[in-house]
Amino acid sequence: MRDRLLTRWRGILLSLVGIVAIIWLAVTGQLGLYIHPRYYEFTVIMAVLAGVVVLAAFAIVPTATEADHDHGDADHDGHEHHDHAPDDHAPAPGDHEHAADVAAGDLGAAVPPPPPGRRRDLVWAGLAGVVILGTVGALLIVPPSTLTTATVDQRDLNASAAVTDTGATETLVGSDTSAFTIKDWASLLRQGAGEDYFAGKTATLTGFVTPDPTDPDDVFYVARFVVTCCAVDAQPVGVPVYLPGWQDSYAVDSWVEASGSFGTNPSTASSQPIVFEPADITPVDQPAEPYVY
């Protein structure tokens, strides 16, 4: 009985940690670090609903009686172990003795002697503790943050999201460039819109600094992550900027705003034919919505 009640708190605590994390991110406007805006309302509504139930659980679970959980009108013996470790990974032979012992302990109010299945339970309780502490650490202690260049390296810059489809790029070619995002410019570069198209075009780009893998000394990208669902599917896109010795002025992963025009890439090592030629680069703070969609 006691085991089971302790077990039950695991879900309540984990729920509470998750709900607090979501509410805080929503209130401080940082949900966008993790999920696509289309989920904001749903996520907040479910967090509030679950929060109400979790608070109710704090009131009800301490006084929960048999009638409240096992719903059984009969059959009160021998089933007590059913949720001592619901994520039971390896049902051990000791399980049944343990069930009997807990059931016995249930009848007598005194503390039962440690039964054989006890050690396994302790191990599971310990693991549950690790999961709870890890969750608190990841959700409530590590400060929220965007993805870094480490992930850009894993995910091939401009490999995918920029190349959505040629139809979209054709629409881009004819439209007003002042509203273009890094994603739009990256699509055009990727689709090979050509030097004629870029001649005379100016742009202002805001993104984080990440080195060009083919010529890291002379070229860096002003980059953003494109997110379709949540940060786990983020795809890096970026516009290459030619600026020898850029490392001296701009740190990798720092945010900059660059304005200028496009031109042929003077770098022979870089794989990019066209680069952004900045007239001005200023360091800026990370924007409230660091990802593009």
Partner 1 sequence: MTSDVLPPRTRAPRSRTALRGLVVGAVLAVALLVLRAVSATWGADALPDRIRDFVTLSVSVVIESLPFVFLGILISVVVRFWVPDHVIHRIMPTNPALRRVVISLVGVLLPVCECGNVPLARGFMMKGFSVPEAMTFLLAAPILNPVTIVTTYQAFGWNDGILIGRIAGGFVIANLVGWLFSRHPRPELLLTPAFEEACRIGDGDHGHEHGRAGQLAKLRRGVVAFADETSTMLPALIVGSAIAGAIQVGLSRDVLTALGSNPIWSVLALMLLAFVIAICSNVDAFFILAFGSTFLPGGVVAFLVFGAMVDVKMITLLRTTFTTGALVRLVAVVALASLALGFGVNLLA
Site for partner 1 in 100-139 (CB under 8 A): 109, 128, 131, 134-136, 138-139
By CB under 8 A, is residue 197 in contact with partner 1? no
Q: Where are the beta strands (DSSP E) in the chain?
A: 202-211, 219-226, 235-242, 255-264, 274-283
Closest separation between CB of residue 62 and partner 1, Å? 4
Closest separation between CB of residue 24 and partner 1, Å?
5
**Interface region with partner 1, contact rule CB under 8 A, candidates 41-49, 169-177, 195-203, 268-276:** 41-49
**Rounded Cα gap, residues 199 and 129, in angstroms:** 61
Amino acid type, 45: I
The nearer residue to partner 1, 5 or 269, going by C-beta atoms, is 5
User: Does 155 sit near partner 1 (CB under 8 A)?
Assistant: yes
- Check residue 69 for interaction with partner 1 (CB under 8 A): yes
**Does position 185 bind partner 1 by CB under 8 A?**
no
Contact between 165 and partner 1 by CB under 8 A: the answer reads yes
Is 12 near partner 1 (CB under 8 A)?
yes
Distances (CA, A) of 70 to 5, 73, 82, 86: 12, 8, 10, 15
- At residue 211, φ and ψ (nearest 5 deg) are -70, 150
- Under rule CB under 8 A, residue 43 binds partner 1: yes
> Is residue 289 close enough to count as binding partner 1 by CB under 8 A?
no
Q: What phi and psi values does residue 260 have, to the nearest 5 degrees? A: 165, -155
Closest CA to 189 of 264, 278, 290, 279: 264
- Beta partners for residue 288, in sequence order: none
**Which one, 75 or 285, has the nearer CB to partner 1?**
75
Stretch that binds partner 1, among 172-180, 221-229, 271-279, 282-290 (CB under 8 A): 221-229
Look up residue 96 and give its two tokens: 């049944």
Told to check if 73 binds partner 1 by CB under 8 A, we report yes
Question: Does residue 49 belong to the site contacting partner 1 (CB under 8 A)?
Answer: yes
Asked if 271 and 279 count as a contact pair (C-beta separation under 8 A), the reply is no
Minimum Å gap between C-beta 235 and partner 1 is 6
Give the residue, chosen from 29, 37, 77, 82, that forms a contact with partner 1 under the rule CB under 8 A.
Answer: 82
Residue number, 118 or 155, with CB nearest to partner 1: 155
Are 276 and 259 in contact by the 8 Å Cβ rule? The answer is no
Query: For the chain, what's the residue count?
Result: 293
Interacting span for partner 1 (CB under 8 A) from 172-180, 223-231, 239-247, 268-276: 223-231
In the bound state with partner 1, the residue whose beta carbon lies nearer, of 43 and 259, is 43
What are the structure tokens assigned to 281, written together? 């680069």
* Spatial distance between the Cα atoms of 184 and 190, rounded to a whole number of angstroms: 10
Measured CA to CA, the distance from residue 252 to residue 188 in angstroms comes to: 24
Stretch that binds partner 1, among 19-27, 114-122, 255-263, 278-286 (CB under 8 A): 19-27
Residue with tokens 């870089």: 270
Q: Are 286 and 29 in contact (CB under 8 A)?
A: no
- Dig out the tokens for 167 from the structure: 């139809």
CB closer to partner 1 out of 142 and 279: 142
